[in-house]
Amino acid sequence: MKYYLAIDIGASSGRHIIGWKEDNAIYTKEVYRFPNGVQEENGHLVWDVRKLFANVVTGIMKAFEVYPRIESLSIDTWGVDYVLLKGDEEVYPVYAYRDSRTEAVIPQVHEKMPFAELYTHTGCQFQPFNTIYQLYDEKVSGRLEGVTDLLLMPEYLIWKLCGIKAREYTNATTMGMINAQTGEFDMEIIDALGYPRNLFPKLSQPGTVLGMLRPEIAAAVGGTCKVVLCATHDTGSAVEGIPMDGNHPYISSGTWSLLGVKTPKPITDAGSEKANYSNEGGVGYNRYQKNIMGMWLVNELQRELGPDMPFPEIVKLAEASDCDILVDANAPEFLAPKSMKAAFDAATGGLNEIGDYFRCAYRSLVLSYKQAIEELEANTGMKYEKLYIVGGGAKNTFLNRLTEETTGKKVIALPIEATALGNLKIQMEVE
C-alpha cells in the first residue's frame, strides 16, 4: 500500500491528511490539525511563518509516527501572499492579504497600466490584495532592494522542506501577472511596473517532483519522502477533488467562496472584466471563477457575538429570524473590519437580535451566489442545472437550502475535504 500526505492550509486552519488508494477509491485519515490566522504587528496584518512552518513539520512527524513509509507529500494554501528572500534569509514581516497597505498604491499601478489593459493580458479579477499591488507597495517602500526570490506561501514552505525554489502555475495565476494566453509571467506588465525580472522565472506544473526532504528535516520528522507540487492554490486542488458528473459550476466554500466553472481556455472579454471574473490555472483546464467573501462574514460575527456558540445553534438562530435586510456581501468594508458587527450595523442601520446578523449574512451571501451564476452563464453562453458545493460550507444544510432556493440550481453538497483529495490525486498520478 502506498501512502501520500496532503498538507492543506487555509487562512484559519491547517490539516495534514494521509491518503491511499484502494479498489480505485481514495481513502483519507486526518493525522494533525492546527489553527492559523493573521496577527497585528505595528499596525499591519501579518503571518507568523515561523510558527506556520513549525506546525507543518510537527504534522509531518505525526504522519510518520502512524505511517512509517510515505511515498510523497505536497502543500496547498491560499493564493496571492508570498515571502521575500535575500538568498536564504526571509524578509520580515510577511504581510497578509487582508492588510490595507495596498490602498495607496493601486491608483499608481493603474497609472502605469490601466486595469482594463491588465485584464486583457491576465484575465485576473481585481482584488485590492492581488500580488501585483502588494509588490508595488514593496517597491515604493524599498523592500525589494536586494531581494533575490519571491515565493508564494506554499512554495516557501516547500522550499523549507526540500531546498528547491519552485514557482507553481495554478497559484501564480492568483498574482495578477500571468499572461492568460501563454501561461507564463507577463514581462510587459513586470517591466511596466519596474519589478526585477529575476523574481519571475519559468513556472512549474502540478505533478512536478522537486526532490526529497532535506536531511535535517527527515531527521526531525522520523522519515523521508518525495516532495511534489500539487495544484498549490487550494482552490485549484479543491476543483480537482470534486467528484463531478460532467462539467458544472462549483463553489469551494470556506473563508472565501470561490464560484466558477471549468473552461477550455481563458475568457478575457469586456463582459468578464465588468463582472470581475478571474481566469485561474487548473490541471489541464482554465478555472473561470470569482472570489466571494464567503464564511468569513459568519465566522467573524460568531467571534464577536457568540464565540462559544456552536454552529448548529447559529444556524437555528438564523432560521428562526425573520430579518429580510440584505447587504452587499463583497463590499470592501467587510474585508477586514475591526468589528464585523459594527460593519453590519453601518450597512443595515443596526439589527435587533443575534440571529438577525447571521440570517442577514447567509442571505446576502447566497444573493451574491445568484448574481455570480447569472454572470457566469451570460459570459460562457451556457446554462447549468447543477451546482456542486465542497468545503466547510457544504456541511451547512441551511445555507445549502437557501442557495438552492435563491439560485434555482440543484445543489449537490459534498461535505468532503475536496482540497486534500485533489492534492492527493495529483500526487498519486506522479510516475
Active-site residue flag, 324: no
Q: What is the Cα–Cα distance from 419 to 425, expressed in whole angstroms?
A: 10
Q: What is the Cα–Cα distance from 8 to 405, expressed in whole angstroms?
A: 32
Catalytic residue (choose from 137, 234, 245, 269) = 234
Q: How far is CA 394 from CA 293, 371, 420, in A?
A: 15, 19, 15
What lies within 8 Å, CB to CB, of 314 at 6+ separation is 298, 302, 306, 358
Directed axis angle between helix 311-320 and helix 296-305, to 10°?
100
Outline where 79-194 has alpha helix (H): 106-112, 115-122, 131-141, 153-162, 169-172, 187-192
Element (H, E) at 262: strand 257-263
Please name which of 21, 387, 429, 383 lies closest in space to residue 237, comparing C-alpha atoms: 429
Q: How many residues comprise the chain?
A: 431
Please name which of 233, 339, 252, 231 lies closest in space to residue 295, comparing C-alpha atoms: 252
Q: Are 67 and 4 a contacting pair, CB within 8 Å? A: no
Catalytic residues: 234
